[in-house]
């Protein structure tokens, strides 16, 4: 079992998607606990605003404009952040975009962008940020931001492409946890329900229903607090308040029923 990171004071963290929403809320929550920050986002103006907001915390804060879908850029960011902050203890692969719309309606560019940011952004973070956690040998933690949609496809809002990317993040996180077992690096996957962030406002395809659902969601600040509590408790799955429990029960019930029918039929499972 990975060592729990414990007291965060004096530690250093990398956060992608840090200019707004959950990423920015995490930055504020971490700074309040004495954590130095490396903030990355594709939004240059948002990053500067975030730096100004966080300056009164007195923590060391470094920013870098970053498209997480680009492997070479993430590799360069990892080297830069380590040079600036020294030992890195926390990594939040948080950057993500919405990609709503029916599967047939989305263009190849839509699909490529969605998987580039939501999936390869996490892959690149695993490849280039996680080695930084290994170097100092102390307790450390990775949090990958997925979504409740990564476990349950909404039947009334067309979010299949988004769900596909977030399902990949859940699988990557489960695999990472297994691979890091026996080390001092913990792993969590954040699977929130609706959170009041700008994600839908920036989407070219989001419906009014989706926008309304997100606007009425949990506050990013509350989610950030839950994430830090979960890290300190060593929890893997992190959920926010959501109404998807019935949907999950239906989905997994259907899966287990299918397995049970195969067992009754005498077919190996």
Between CA 14 and CA 35 the distance in angstroms is: 10
Which tokens is 163 given?
């769900």
Is residue 153 pLDDT above 70, yes or no? yes
Count Cβ atoms within 10 A of the Cβ of residue 183 and give its class: 0-12 exposed, 13-18 middle, 19 or more buried: middle
Query: Among the options 81, 115, 152, 162, which is catalytic?
Result: 162
Domains of the chain: 12-243 (3.40.50.720)
More reliable by pLDDT, 105 or 1? 105
237 SS3 class: strand
pLDDT of residue 214: 65
| Residues 18 and 94: beta-carbon distance below 8 Å | yes
159: Cα separation from own chain's centroid: 17
Q: What does the pLDDT look like over 179-220, one tens digit per residue?
A: 999 999 999 999 998 776 766 566 666 666 666 666 656 789
More reliable by pLDDT, 94 or 198? 94
Backbone angles phi, psi at 202, to 5 degrees: -95, 0
Question: Any catalytic annotation for residue 237?
Answer: no
Backbone angles phi, psi at 63, to 5 degrees: -125, 155
More reliable by pLDDT, 156 or 214? 156
Q: Which residues pair with 65 in a beta bridge?
A: 41
pLDDT of residue 193: 82
Between CA 70 and CA 135 the distance in angstroms is: 23
Count Cβ atoms within 10 A of the Cβ of residue 247 and give its class: 0-12 exposed, 13-18 middle, 19 or more buried: middle
Please name which of 44, 122, 40, 35 lies closest in space to residue 85, comparing C-alpha atoms: 35
The model's pTM is 0.92
Between CA 269 and CA 262 the distance in angstroms is: 7
Q: How far is CA 180 from CA 99, 154, 171, 173, 234, in A?
A: 31, 32, 14, 10, 13
Is residue 269 pLDDT above 70, yes or no? no
Lowest mean pLDDT segment, chosen from 27-41, 93-107, 207-221: 207-221
| Residues 161 and 111: beta-carbon distance below 8 Å | yes
Lowest mean pLDDT segment, chosen from 11-15, 121-125, 186-190, 264-268: 264-268
SS (H, E, C) 97-135: CCCCCCCCCCCHHHHHHHHHHHCHHHHHHHHHCHHHHHH
């Amino acid at each position: 079992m990975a060592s729990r990171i414990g007291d965060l004071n004096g530690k250093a963290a990398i956060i992608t998607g840090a200019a707004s929403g959950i990423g920015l809320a995490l930055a504020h929550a971490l700074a309040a606990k004495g954590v130095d920050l490396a903030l990355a986002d594709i939004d240059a103006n948002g990053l500067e605003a975030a730096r100004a907001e966080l300056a009164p915390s007195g923590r060391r804060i470094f920013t870098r404009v970053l498209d997480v879908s680009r492997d070479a850029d993430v590799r360069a960011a990892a080297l830069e952040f380590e040079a600036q902050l020294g030992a890195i203890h926390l990594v939040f692969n948080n950057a993500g975009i919405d990609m709503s719309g029916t599967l047939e309606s989305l263009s190849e560019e839509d699909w490529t962008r969605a998987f580039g940011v939501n999936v390869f952004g996490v892959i690149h973070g695993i490849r280039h940020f996680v080695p930084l956690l290994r170097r100092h040998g102390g307790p450390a933690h990775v949090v990958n931001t997925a979504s409740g949609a990564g476990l349950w496809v909404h039947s009334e809002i067309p979010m299949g492409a988004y769900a596909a990317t977030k399902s990949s993040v859940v699988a990557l996180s489960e695999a990472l946890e297994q691979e890091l077992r026996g080390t001092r690096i913990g792993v969590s996957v954040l699977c929130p329900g609706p959170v009041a962030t700008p994600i839908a406002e920036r989407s070219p395809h989001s419906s009014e229903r989706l926008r309304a659902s997100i606007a009425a969601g949990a506050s990013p600040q509350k989610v950030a607090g839950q994430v830090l509590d979960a890290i300190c408790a060593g929890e893997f799955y992190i959920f926010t308040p959501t109404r998807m429990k019935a949907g999950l029960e239906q989905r997994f019930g259907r899966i287990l029923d299918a397995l049970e029918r195969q067992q009754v039929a005498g077919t190996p499972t």
